Amino acid sequence: MKAAYIQNGSVCVGEMPDPVPAKGQALVRTHSCGMCASDQHFLHSGQNVIDLSRKFGGPYAALDFARPFVPGHEYVGEVLDYGSGSLRTVRPGRRVTSVPIMRSAGSHSVIGFSHDCPGGWGELMLLDETALIEIPDGLDDDMAAMTEPLAVGLEHARRGRPTGDDIPLVVGCGAIGLGVIAGLKLMGIGPIIAADFHESRREMAIHMGADVAVDPRELSPYEAIPDLGGRRANLIYENVGLPGLLPQIIAACAFESRIVMGGYCMEQEQFYVFAAQNKRLTVHFAGGEEGQDMELALRSIAEGKVDIAPWIGERIGLGAVADAVKAMSGPTAPVRSVVDPRKL
């Protein structure tokens, strides 16, 4: 199959072996796949991610950075066939997505970060048949490919266990933060405060359902917000992943705040336990999405409850992947570019 793959920190395009499905695995032809910041992160820090997984336990421990692997975990594809003895849960010809985890055939791999389970930057994928979610007829491929990134935000939103008495603050309005805002809005939680340095992302936050969007250089989002009658946030969602942000939040937030760490930080954090104890803070660590989040995300997109269309920027073929990865960070970059690996 044709694919864009990563090897030794570089993006290459070429032929990769066609994956062969085992029992419990579906063979899928990719239609559309979103490009995630974690894909870009692997170009620069992939070996560090692998080493940390080997040291502390993690899903990337089996990855060999010197060997090629095909990224892409935000995908939509068409079921072609199954491995022998499979349940064949979705009939061939139907479009599907899934949580990007392969648990069948005795394996546990992250699709797109595995030598055995190539991701959506390639023409063909293997998916766990027990995790398949059918795409409704009429829903655009690119829109459906936003299911996974939206689902991550929905998981993070519910991880904070928000109630009607909470005033949430979403720090960082990339895809995860925007998904958190959408998730809070779906749950009827508000008012929602968003904070980001970039005007375009603040505008996107308002579009997704935030009530107030703050530039932290002009107004501390942790203090009383004039537009909310002087009320302060008490439920803080961190979606940046930079070292030093957690101690900053601990120092600035209100008494008895709850903090949800959703940003994927690869470096050690240091903070004063004394400060957190005195404020009686609670810190939750959010993880990846679950099946319930994927189903809610897809349903919300299909029914128009979450307008995901503004996330989608350029649609590209395999030959443009390397340049798109370089350009995907920064305030003017789209929330998501999408790859169609059927095109060069």
Residue (of 74, 296, 290) closest to 185 by Cα position: 296
Pick the residue with more confidence: 39 or 186? 186
Whether the pLDDT of residue 107 is over 70: the answer is: no
* 336 in Cβ contact with 311 (< 8 Å): yes
* 177 in Cβ contact with 311 (< 8 Å): no
CA distance to 128, 133, 209, 231, 288, per residue, from 89 (Å): 10, 10, 36, 50, 24
Pick the residue with more confidence: 264 or 253? 253
Of 105-109, 112-116, 298-302, 331-335, minimum mean pLDDT range:
105-109
- Give the mean pLDDT of the chain: 94
Whether the pLDDT of residue 56 is over 80: the answer is: yes
For range 29-43, the mean pLDDT: 90
Strand partners, 10: 7
Task: Enter the tokens of residue 279.
Answer: 């404020």
Of 93-107, 124-138, 183-197, minimum mean pLDDT range:
93-107
What amino acid occupies position 249? I
Q: Which pLDDT does position 110 carry in this prediction?
A: 93
The full length of the chain comes to 344
Whether the pLDDT of residue 275 is over 70: the answer is: yes
> Would you say the C-alpha torsion 78, 315, 329, 308 has a positive or negative sign?
negative
Q: Which pLDDT does position 328 carry in this prediction?
A: 84
Strands 133-134 vs 95-97: parallel, antiparallel or unpaired: antiparallel
Query: pLDDT > 90: what percent of the chain?
Result: 85
* 147 in Cβ contact with 140 (< 8 Å): no
Q: Which pLDDT does position 142 carry in this prediction?
A: 97
Whether the pLDDT of residue 61 is over 80: the answer is: yes
Q: Which pLDDT does position 136 carry in this prediction?
A: 97
Whether the pLDDT of residue 340 is over 90: the answer is: yes
Name the pLDDT band for 281 (thresholds 50, 70, 90): very high
Residue (of 16, 120, 125) closest to 67 by Cα position: 16
224 alpha carbon, distance to own chain's centre: 30
For range 295-320, the mean pLDDT: 96
- The CA-based dihedral angle spanning residues 314, 316, 321, 325, taken in that order and rounded to the nearest 10 degrees: 10
Whether the pLDDT of residue 331 is over 80: the answer is: no
For range 258-264, the mean pLDDT: 94
Task: Enter the tokens of residue 192.
Answer: 């929602």
Whether the pLDDT of residue 329 is over 80: the answer is: no
Please identify which residue in the block is written with the tokens 């899928």. Answer: 28
Q: Which pLDDT does position 332 carry in this prediction?
A: 78
For range 9-18, the mean pLDDT: 95
Gap between the Cα atoms of 330 and 197, Å rounded: 11
Q: Which pLDDT does position 185 carry in this prediction?
A: 98
* Complete domains list, the chain, with CATH: 2-146+308-339 (3.90.180.10), 152-285 (3.40.50.720)
Whether the pLDDT of residue 105 is over 70: the answer is: no
For range 160-170, the mean pLDDT: 97
90 alpha carbon, distance to own chain's centre: 25
Strand partners, 82: 26
For range 323-328, the mean pLDDT: 89
Contacts of 277 (CB under 8 A, 6+ apart): none
What amino acid occupies position 338? V
